[in-house]
Amino acid sequence: MVLEAGAIVSYSPGRLSGARASSAWHPILSEMGIVVTSSTLAVGPIAETLDEHGEPIGEAGRLTQEAFARVADDLAWWTSAAREQRARQAPPY
């Protein structure tokens, strides 16, 4: 197993945005050796956030774009950190 980085993104038709499902994934991914970012993205209600082509719409879409930028930056940082650490030392498992 190698050290990797990951971020959790969830969506749903309702206002909870898959929050329950995403909270369940964090310990599972961690057990798989994935460093899970602290920033997550919950999109919902999906029909009021993205159009049929996945493009942001309305205020919810704008807020989702802003939140995604944060998640992407966080994931890029942890990916780089994992890559550099792996080059120095193999994971202890």
Distance between CA atoms of residues 70 and 63, nearest Å: 11
Distance between CA atoms of residues 24 and 61, nearest Å: 25
- Within-domain flag for 93: no
Q: Domain range holding 37?
A: 4-88
Closest CA to 16 of 40, 44, 51, 58: 44
Give the number of domains in the chain: 1
pLDDT of residue 21: 85
**Predicted structure pTM score:** 0.80
pLDDT band at 3 (very low <50, low <70, confident <90, very high): low
- Within-domain flag for 9: yes
pLDDT of residue 23: 87
- Within-domain flag for 34: yes
pLDDT band at 47 (very low <50, low <70, confident <90, very high): very high
What percent of the chain is predicted at pLDDT more than 90?
Answer: 55
